[in-house]
Amino acid sequence: MIAIKWMLFITVILFSCPAYTSQPSVLLAKVYDEEKHNDISAYLVSEKFDGVRAIWTGTQFVTRKGNIINAPHWFTASLPNTWLDGELWTKREHFAALSGIVRTKIPNNKDWQAVTYKIFDMPDKTLAFSERYKNYSQLVTHINQPHIQAVKQRRFKNNKQLSDYFNNITAQGAEGVMLHLADAKHKSGRSGALLKLKPYLDAEAVVIAHLPGKGKYTGMLGALRVKSASGQLFSIGTGFSDAQRQNPPAIGSTVTYRFHGLTKNGLPRFASFLRVRESI
């Protein structure tokens, strides 16, 4: 009887899931603003995992851009023919190593032993996120595999509770938190139904020039001259290792940088290099 109920549950989810396309339609977050989003009780809150976004189409993992992620068969064998959204993740502050594991065309079984799939949504346009949370939690319990995990969602009554949680996990190396409107139904694109709160902001820009270093950086990179998506030009001079200064990101490549708000001229304040954006 239990097996029959579970099959009916999966059938309902499959019927309402969005169809897979080469570039999947996913929900993207806006930035949390305490003045605009002051009713914290309306949101479910979870840790933001700094992993590789992975959409399970029912048959394979793909990135937001629709590129196939070559996971080992044993890693995906227990996943159902159901649309899932989550992050491939190893541990906090470990993105570079994780990215190398995930981008390998022939997966290394030993490396993948350290990877977990953190499911944070089971997309269904007919259900509120609070119901989808119950669904993906039940699914993970049913799968019962240590590398398939449900992202825990929390409820807070006010901004102080949110702030305490945020400060606690970021002090331990977490990237930040996500706030998902509990009664919001799933839709694709950037939406205020999903918010991100991080100790810093980040964005991407294209490298247009290498500026020479001075002093101890003579003969190496001093700063990157970059162009943002909106056409703004500015320089990024911090955040590089000595190896990156000796072999800087190529002109034309896209880099991710972190910053702390904007100047009065609308430029990123205290822009610091984070990493080269991988084409995944």
Task: Express each pLDDT in 15-73 by its tens digit.
Answer: 344 444 467 889 999 988 777 777 899 999 999 999 999 999 999 999 988 999 999 99
Q: Where are the alpha helices (DSSP H) in 17-158?
A: 73-76, 95-103, 109-112, 129-143
Q: Exposed, middle or buried, 131 (CB in 10 Å: 0-12/13-18/19+)?
A: middle
pLDDT at 89: 97
Among 253, 261, 256, 263, smallest CA distance to 236 is for: 256
pLDDT at 18: 44
pLDDT at 21: 42
Q: Which residues of the chain have pLDDT under 70?
A: 1-22, 279-280
CA 98: distance to chain centroid?
Answer: 13
pLDDT at 279: 62
pLDDT at 262: 78
Structure tokens, 114: 């350290």
CB 119 within 8 A of CB 148: yes
> What is the identity of the amino acid at 87?
E
Beta pairing class for 27-31 and 189-197: parallel
Phi then psi for residue 277, to 5 deg, are -75, 125
Q: Is the pTM above the cut of 0.85?
A: no
